Amino acid sequence: MNYFSSDFKLGVLGGGQLGKMLLTETHKYDIHTSILDNSADAPCAQICDEFVQGDLMDFDTVVNFGKTVDVLTIEIEHVNVDALEHLEKIGKSVYPKSKDLRIIQNKGVQKTFYESNNIATSAFKKFDTIAELKASVENNEVTIPFVWKSTQFGYDGNGVKMVRAISDLENLTETECIAEELVNFKNELAVIVARNPNGDIATYPVVEMEFHPEANQVEYVICPARINDKVAEKAKNTALNVAKAFDFVGLLAVEMFQTQNDEILVNEVAPRTHNSGHYSIEASYTSQFEQHVRAILNLPLGNTDSKVAGIMVNLVGAEGYQGEVVYENMDKILAIDGVTPHIYGKKHTRPFRKMGHVTIVNENIEEARRVAEQVKNAIKVISK
């Protein structure tokens, strides 16, 4: 099939920042792109070839949109999976596949999938209600502290809380949930795996993630991870095993814990381009966004090696500010060598909302980390 400068249409469910960065690559290749998103103000709305406003969770909306395109993909996993399954049945190419999204959308089902495929993950219990969870704590079946996760529709730190005391149980949302054993880890790691329909597969280098202690959001992504080769190889092999267990097509970000005795436990996955791969735009031979396009269109996969060490700093809304966004001290960070900001196009900020990121590249990873701290301290995402 001729994808380039042709009548071919790539459909994307979701028009947020991941879609916006994906469009950089479709523009490069002159691939016609149609976007479906709930919001008329979505970052992709003004820069795609076609924009449709509609509910990603509505069966008819997704089916009708899918019928207008040749290949359908996602930039967010909160979509109507029944609609994707229907589109597959009538012959549409949908990547990632509906069967994989059905597993990944529910964190309880996802964890059970790892167990049934002999993929190491932290111990957990699933509960239909908060009352069931509280009873399990009272009966000493679940030990505090633990990590509480809503099984569905969590994002950007929402739907995930640390339970450190009995009183924390009162602040949990009433929903189906899991209680995960707290892992005593050295590092949080991630590996992005790309796989096309032919079965060609490639992995990006292992990255190390540093999280904000309260917001449960990634503050820094460091590539390469500062770990030894043996641990890196184990993390890569684990990610490959996960992708193969799913028979995944597209881009899969596998988040993992490196325990104190250097075991690797899978935390969770994202079936799309991911925060942990943003560094690749500046630091890699093939960005994760270009690789996603290559994978879903069954093109040869690109070189995943890094040209240089890269660190990504998330730009999130500062606490205490809400309203029309202002990026303070942008000129100061632009004056630093190797610093590239990416602004996502969200006009309004609120505390901890992802508004952009900054990539820092340097031959020396420790120098890159120092500059990343400098950038983090300088730039402020506030409101008018």
The answer to whether 268 is annotated as binding is: yes
The answer to whether 208 is annotated as binding is: no
Nearest alpha carbon to residue 378 among 318, 342, 330: 330
Q: Are strands 250-259 and 309-316 parallel, antiparallel or unpaired?
A: unpaired
The answer to whether 183 is annotated as binding is: yes
* Euclidean distance between CA atoms 292 and 139, whole angstroms: 47
Q: Three-state DSSP class for 299?
A: coil
The answer to whether 188 is annotated as binding is: yes
Q: Which amino acid is at 202?
A: A
| DSSP labels, 130-193 | HHHHHHHHHTTSSPSSEEEEESSS-BTTBTEEEE-SGGGGGGS-SS-EEEEEPP-EEEEEEEEE
The token pair that represents 330 in the structure block: 């942008």
The answer to whether 149 is annotated as binding is: yes
* Euclidean distance between CA atoms 134 and 368, whole angstroms: 45
Q: Three-state DSSP class for 31?
A: coil
Q: Three-state DSSP class for 23?
A: helix
The answer to whether 138 is annotated as binding is: no
DSSP 275: G
Instruction: Give the CA distances from residue 184 to residues 100, 146, 188, 242, 361, in Å, rounded to whole numbers and listed in that order.
Output: 29, 11, 11, 22, 30
Number of H helices, E strands in the chain: 11, 21
Tell me whether residue 212 is exposed, middle or buried, using C-beta atoms within 10 angstroms of its C-beta: 0 to 12, 13 to 18, 19 or more: middle
The answer to whether 181 is annotated as binding is: yes
Provide the annotated binding site: 107, 149, 180-183, 188, 267-268
Provide the annotated binding site for ATP: 107, 149, 180-183, 188, 267-268
